[in-house]
Amino acid sequence: MKTQILTALKFFLAMTILTGIIYPLLMTGVAQIAFPSQANGSLILKDGKIIGSELIGQKFDSTIYFWSRPSAISYNPIPSGASNFGPTSKALKKQVDDRRIAFATSNSIVDNGTIPPEMIFASASGLDPHISPKAALMQVDRIVKARQFDTEKQQQILNVITKLSEGPQFSFFGDERINVLDLNLELDRLNKK
Amino acid sequence: MNEAIQLIIFLVALVLLAPILGKFMAKVFMGENHLLKPVFGWLERSVYRVSGIKSEVEMNWKTYLFGILLFNFIGMVFLFLLQIFQVWLPLNTEHLPNVSWHLAFNTAVSFMTNTNWQSYSGENTLSYLVQMLGLTVQNFVSAATGIAVVLALIRGLTRKTTDELGNFWTDMTRTVVYVLLPLSILFTIILVGQGTVQTFSHYITATTLQGVHQVIPLGPAASQIAIKDLGTNGGGFFNANSAHPFENPTPFSNFLIMLALIIISAGLVFTYGHYAKSKRQAWAIFITMLILFAGGLALSLWAEYSQNNVLNIAGNMEGKETRFGVMNSILYSVTTTVTSNGSVNCMHDSLSPLSGLVAMFNLMLGEIIFGGVGSGLYGMIIFVFITVFIAGLMVGRTPEFLGKKVEAFEIKMAILAVLAPSIVIKLFSAIACTIPAGLAGLNNAGPHGLSEILYAFSSAAGNNGSAFAGLNTNTVFYNLMMGFGMLIGRFGVIIPVMAIAGNMARKKITPESAGTFKTDNWLFVLLLIGIILIIGGLTFFPPLALGPIVEHFLMNLGVTY
């Protein structure tokens, strides 16, 4: 009995050191050497300042930018989260109806039913960095107008969308998507040209 | 089309890899030579030396069980203390306050029981130190505990006329050193390559393109996420769990995580086959699990792609991520609920009613469809006992399993192991539904509100940890009720299982005769599936009818709450 208790304590200590200290420290070391950018949050710098992370979505609601998805936490990552509204939620129905109208009106869309679902539903993390390429294409006319671009620049935006669109990873995994922050960074670059 | 291909790749990978891993684990646990022995043998021996373990001395079921309870109790107390004192401990980079006593109790129980229910959000509650020194450790050892229990049970079933069931410390050490740790190291590196963070730096404040400050949380996440997925733990480093872009950055990481959720539990079925010296026994159980898994998956996919008349859309994206889409969200939700993992890449609260029902029913069945590492298999073997018992009643013969008589004691224990979690689900849910403290946390009204409560206690009792996360459970009432629910769901099964192991080990093995009811053919598979569904259905149909099922019909009528 007494030896069993002593063994339990010593074994717990051994496991704590092995899996709670050595393992995470070792992994941090390996990660920092092998993948320093990813391990530190895939940060994006502009003029020496951190403007965000490649993986963490940002709120875009200005007419001059591609909009990101609705977010239950307004893209404030502390903490991440979703609406958790159920499929018969009155509150969700109202949100979705409002978003449908808002997106259709701002982007001059005639048929509400063609809006890609990710633009009217909030994501799971509240930080989804992607939208579908289709949702990006729907916003081009609005952005061209807001930025007073000519047809040449409009074509350049379309080229950027093609360039940044990601198909399924390794041709199989996941859905088509485009990173909104990357897209908007390219937009700002176009403006300077 | 692409969806179908992904699904097929997943299932093929599962069926191919599980037997390989199962064979490897059998060699590890039997103490034979294997691939990793030359690499990590020194580590195994060091753990024995440091802890004073005589690795070859075997234990009877009571000593083995005492080791389990003692070791888990120590781990729980340590984790509790870490949380309530985190302010005064190092590596609290964001100066997070001490955790309240009831949340600390809930979290300590939760991680010790391999549930990983989280009443908190990782980003703004726990320091880096608590996450790694407390949670990561429990992620490893709670998984190893489940495997140790199933090893004792398997030995009890396959040995004859003995009291010896193996050495608990040896089983724990081998599980961690040769199975969990190497897989976690490999997986951590892949995850970081895909974009998961692994650092001890402070959180970073960025200034977004629209000029807003955005605080980006960091931490030693990948190392914890790897074991959280492999050990069927499921507790996220960040609140959004596997939906968070830092936990699950790409569709490829998502694919590997789904495989990680299920592969050890699936592999253990074949480990059992090696002990029983019968691949057919293993395949019978594996196919039973696979059929139940596929059935749930098919229903869930159909439901989620069907029209929602409230929102006027089929395949909605509420609580889902663009990079995963509907198919990968549903596949994940079914995989994580059958395996008692409980991490999520979409919000189960926002699933269509019948997809939510599938997830919930998986929890209610007691996490036996692959199930938790170790716990899934011992839970399934409990149902095998009940099945041979009922088959025996039908033909009027003493039931047998693997050549041993299954008698009154085993059946009593088996029923106890089935009843304990069921009582938690129904009784605790009933209490929560009738008092203000229980109803206060609801995020949705109508039948969906009942589903939120029912799901929470099913998750606790099944040691799953996923949630209809709208329910706010960080209250004294829920933290305590859920804590006790998890304890009963875990040890209310482990104790009867160990008693069965001890009792079975003492029995003789009688040779097979013409009258033996075979447990390795299709007839048995179908009977086993039938028994599981009948017991689960009879127990839980009434509350499910009032929750997700009625919600499904109301949704079709366009009713909102």
Q: Please state, for a pLDDT cut of 90, what percent of chain B lies above it.
A: 95
Whole-number Å distance between alpha carbons of B404 and B500 = 12
The predicted model gives B249-256 an average pLDDT of 97
Annotate B150-168 with DSSP letters as a single string.
Answer: HHHHHHHHHS-S------H
pLDDT in tens, B152-208: 999 999 999 999 999 999 999 999 999 999 999 999 999 999 999 999 999 999 999
Mutate to test the interface with B, among A13, A83, A89 (most CBs of B within 10 A): A89
pLDDT in tens, A81-122: 999 999 999 999 999 999 999 999 999 999 988 999 999 999
In A, residues 104-133, which contact B (CB 8 Å cutoff)? 117-118, 120-132
Q: B275 with B283: CB under 8 angstroms? A: no
Whole-number Å distance between alpha carbons of A58 and A41 = 14
B205 bridge partner residues: B215
pLDDT at B1: 73
With a CB cutoff of 8 Å and minimum separation 6, the contacts of B394 are: none
Annotate A39-83 with DSSP letters as a single string.
Answer: HTT-EEEETTEEEEESSS-----STTS------TTTT--TT----
List CB contacts (< 8 A) between B67 and chain A: 4, 8
What does the block give as tokens for B203? 């959180």
Which range, of A170-179, B36-45, B278-287, B481-490, averages the lowest pLDDT? A170-179
In this structure, are strands A49-53 and A130-131 parallel, antiparallel, or unpaired? unpaired
List CB contacts (< 8 A) between A169 and chain B: 250-252
With a CB cutoff of 8 Å and minimum separation 6, the contacts of B23 are: B270, B271, B274
Whole-number Å distance between alpha carbons of B553 and B557 = 6
Domain ranges of chain A: 1-40, 42-192
pLDDT at A63: 95
Whole-number Å distance between alpha carbons of B105 and B103 = 5
Query: CA B353 → CA A18, A120, B333, B552, distances in Å?
Result: 43, 20, 13, 5
Closest-CA residue of A relative to B54 is: A7
Whole-number Å distance between alpha carbons of B34 and B39 = 10
The predicted model gives B279-291 an average pLDDT of 97
pLDDT at A2: 84
Closest-CA residue of B relative to A78 is: B123
List CB contacts (< 8 A) between B250 and chain A: 169, 173-174
Which 8-state DSSP code applies to residue A44?
E
B442 touches chain A (CB under 8 A): no
Q: B240 with A123: CB under 8 angstroms? A: no
- Residue B290's H or E segment, with its range, is helix B279-305
Query: CA B107 → CA B474, B478, B479, distances in Å?
Result: 10, 12, 8
The answer to whether the CB atoms of B207 and A51 lie below 8 A apart is yes
One digit per residue, pLDDT tens: chain A, 193 residues?
788 999 999 999 999 999 999 999 999 999 999 999 999 999 999 989 999 999 999 999 999 999 999 999 999 999 999 999 999 999 999 999 999 999 999 999 999 889 999 999 999 999 999 999 999 999 999 999 999 999 999 999 999 999 999 999 988 899 899 999 999 999 999 987 6
Closest-CA residue of B relative to A16 is: B137
Closest-CA residue of A relative to B8 is: A172
Dihedral sign (CA A155, A156, A159, A161): negative
Chain mean position to CA A96 = 20
Whole-number Å distance between alpha carbons of B26 and B3 = 35
List CB contacts (< 8 A) between A136 and chain B: none
Q: Please state, for a pLDDT cut of 70, what percent of chain B lies above it.
A: 100
Q: Using the predicted structure, report yes or no on whether residue B2 has a pLDDT greater than 90.
A: no
Whole-number Å distance between alpha carbons of A85 and B350 = 5
Q: Would you tell me how many other CB atoms lie within 10 Å of the CB of residue B538?
A: 9
Q: What are the backbone angles phi and psi of residue B400, rounded to the nearest 5°? A: -130, 155
A20 vs B133, B210, B222: nearest CB: B133
pLDDT in tens, B425-451: 999 999 999 999 999 989 999 999 999
Mutate to test the interface with B, among A10, A16, A19, A35 (most CBs of B within 10 A): A19
* Structure-token match 């997925």, residue found: B229
In B, residues 167-186, which contact A (CB 8 Å cutoff)? 169, 172-173, 176, 181, 184-185
pLDDT at A192: 78
In this structure, are strands B404-405 and B400-401 parallel, antiparallel, or unpaired? antiparallel
Number of continuous H segments (helices) and E segments (strands) in chain B: 21, 6
Whole-number Å distance between alpha carbons of A123 and B345 = 10
